[in-house]
Amino acid sequence: MAAYGAADRVAILCETSYSAMPRLAAGEASFGLIFVDGDHQAEAVRHDVGWALRLLASGGVLACHDYSEDCCCRPGVRQALNELFPEGGELTNSLFVVRR
């Protein structure tokens, strides 16, 4: 991060999204970019994206990985994102992006 001048703007958390995201929300944290690449089961994706939307700053970007993957990921990513965003999102390869 230092090489890119971002060391003072990035914090690395070594914990699951199930503990980190509610804790961050309780502290009223907000982020301009949230990248979700976690458990590929639909319920886990719904959890992570639900909390991510609470943490996303106005004008922020939510990017979710593995939306278009068929070979090695469960279909849960696509299923959950299609349910949560019936209007769709921007697609770049396997990245599903929503701007708020």
The residues, ordered by sequence, that sit 6+ positions from 33 with a Cβ below 8 Å of its Cβ are 60, 61, 63
Whether 71 shows a pLDDT value over 80: the answer reads: no
Answer CATH for 2-99 from 3.40.50.150, 3.40.640.10, 3.50.50.60, 1.25.40.10? 3.40.50.150
Pairwise pLDDT comparison (69 vs 40), residue with the higher score: 40
Q: What was the pLDDT predicted at 11?
A: 82
Q: What was the pLDDT predicted at 66?
A: 93
* pTM (2 d.p.): 0.88
Give the model's confidence band at 73: pLDDT under 50 very low, under 70 low, under 90 confident, else very high.
low
Spatial distance between the Cα atoms of 81 and 43, rounded to a whole number of angstroms: 11
Q: Can you give the residue ranges of every domain in the chain?
A: 2-99
Tens digits of residue pLDDT in 13-40:
899 999 999 999 999 899 999 999 988 8
57 CA to centre of own chain:
13
